[in-house]
Amino acid sequence: MKMKGARILIEALKREGVDTIFGYSGGASLHIFDALYRFNQDNPNDGIRLVMTRHEAGAAHAADCYGRATGKAGVLLVTSGPGATNCVTGLATAIMDSAPMVMISGQVPSGMIGNDAFQETDIIGVTRPIVKHSYLIQRTEDTARIVKEAFHVAETGRPGPVLIDFPKDMQFNEIEPEWVESVNIRGYQPKLYAEKEELEAAAALIMKAERPVVYGGGGLVLGDASNEFREFVWKTQIPTTVTLMGLGAFPETDPLALKMPGMHGSRAANYAIQDSDLLIALGPRFDDRVTGNLAKFAPHAKIIHVDIDPSAISKNVKVDIPIVGHLKYVIPELTKLVDKTNIESWRRTCDLWKQKHPFRYEPKPDVIMPQQVIEEIWNITQGKAILTSDVGQHQMWAAQHYDHIEPRRWFNSGGLGTMGFGLPAALGAQVALPEELVICVSGDGSIIMNIQELVTLKTEKLNVKTVILNNNWLGMVRQWQELLYDERYAASDLHDNPDFAKVAEAFGVKGMRVTKPEELRSALEEAFSYDGPVVMDIFVDETENVYPMVPPGAALDEMVGGMA
């Protein structure tokens, strides 16, 4: 049976198990949106849900977080030109955090490409550095194969975003499709299993180390290897730290957990890394916010690094035993070769650091402390919630003061640091997991960047709770200006922001304004039990900073603030 290219695309997406598309329509993608509409008419009980956001940036972040929450590539559909370029930040966010996503952009007809046609942009060229792979459909006959390959590339190996650019004439051409059942891409064969010799060398180092530290990263979550990771840690009984992107891979309530490392990590984690004689790095990328001054990072330690991406190994920090492979398969093999370590003295040292240097703050009687909000969220949910965050102080407090105990329940922009990520990310997570309580922790600077998605929450009846820690500043910028720029507060004052509770009400979403400490617990409980989306504008201490902090150029153990 002959089909137009646009219908082939939709049928191919359905064959990949796609149940939701996030998008925004436009001229060059109208054939695709029409094909989706007609497909859903033909399949009323087994269609593909279209979630129409109110900006392409919102659709990109929603698709990204749908992918992070499910492990399946989120799908994004937009038009050409400005529709596609509005997704650039979303693609960059996804590639930095290894989120599986397939973006489909309409494009001007093939014969007009390169002629500065209306709403034409070379989106392949624009996005080449920020996608895992990209396709320009030049023959309608290739559509089904390209869709199959795109999902394979997005979801396997180190996950990431893949772009399909679909010219309008290719969408309209009518052919008899050839469906592809499997993918075999020459030059793209991710290595899953480690070599026996590498594993034996790593096991030998682990068993003779006196001060080992397990250093887990976001790859544990993305690779669905959290259970395997926990078995390794529990068997070896080695103190463990997990990065911002890996939070939840190991329960932070466990006695071996040191909490996260890095610029705003725990003193216990940072001291342990700096004093260790062996780092067992499973899935991190040694980014600068974790390592601090590279020349001073883990000066006494040998390093084992396991990662599915060979380009990530020794990219930032030279390692002693590089192991390329999938964590879900490599960790169990390594676990077989090790036993409980004889490091009682080291475990006691790490425990003392934890006891002496917990994350802490000084409560105030008349003002809500931002950390207090996060702790109350934990007290109410006990980890049975999904948290998204934007970027800034609130992000760090949510990482520090909420005990992350399960994977795929904490989503934020860790690599790119994208303000405006949190609300549409929560939207995507709620669509993916409709029965879960989804809480977006945001700031008064971040929330306004994609606030239009409140309309989407209302229209789609998505039960997202947005908690704004409102300190009337770009908080992290103000903190750096206070500490490093002699209190010259340039372009960071947000005292002219609107009343976000009233803004929410204007969007048709329940708005709440909280100003007193004694109101906090009951207000959170009211919001979480309310049937529908809620925006809570919570006014917190304007002067509070995130501590501890590793200043720029300092080593991990040269932290300031956060003393017990």
Catalytic residue among 4, 168, 354, 510: 168
Give kind and range of the element (H or E) at residue 306.
Answer: strand 302-307
Cα–Cα distance for residue pair 414/389, rounded to 1 Å: 10
Q: Is 118 annotated as catalytic?
A: yes
Dig out the tokens for 512 from the structure: 């709440």
Decide: residue 518, CB within 10 A, 0-12 exposed, 13-18 middle, 19+ buried: exposed
Q: Choosing from 118, 189, 231, 542, which is the catalytic residue? A: 118
For residue 8 the two structure tokens come to 């082939």
Nearest Cα residue to 544 out of 374, 384, 305, 414: 374
Largest CA distance in the chain: 72
Of 119, 237, 436, 526, the catalytic one is 119
Helices 453-460 and 422-432, packing angle to 10 deg: 20
- For the question of residue 196 being annotated catalytic, the response is no
Residue with tokens 């198990």: 17
Give the residue carrying structure tokens 């003779």: 208
3-state secondary structure of 105: strand
Which tokens in the block code for residue 106?
Answer: 């309409």
Pick the catalytic residue from 245, 263, 449, 476: 476
Q: Which amino acid is at 385?
A: A
Q: Which position among 4, 22, 56, 250 bears the catalytic label? A: 56
Exposure letters 272-307 (e unless 16+ CB within 10 A, then b): bbbbbbbbbbbbbbbbebbbbeeeebbeebbbbbbb
The DSSP-derived string for 16-71 is TT--EEEE---GGGHHHHHHHHHHHHH-TTS--EEEE-SSHHHHHHHHHHHHHHHS
542 is catalytic: no
Copy the structure tokens of residue 153: 């590339």
Side-chain-side CA neighbours of 67 within 13 Å: the count stands at 34
369 belongs to the catalytic site: no
Contact between 560 and 545 under an 8 Å Cβ cutoff? The reply is: no
Question: Does 195 participate in catalysis according to the annotation?
Answer: no
Give the ranges where 237-277 is alpha helix by DSSP (H).
267-275
> Which of 356, 390, 397 is closest to 258 using CA atoms?
356
Per-residue buried b or exposed e for 471-505, using 16+ beta carbons within 10 Å of the residue's own CB:
bbbbbbbbbbbbeeeeeeeeebebeebeebbebbe
Positions marked active-site: 56, 118-119, 168, 476
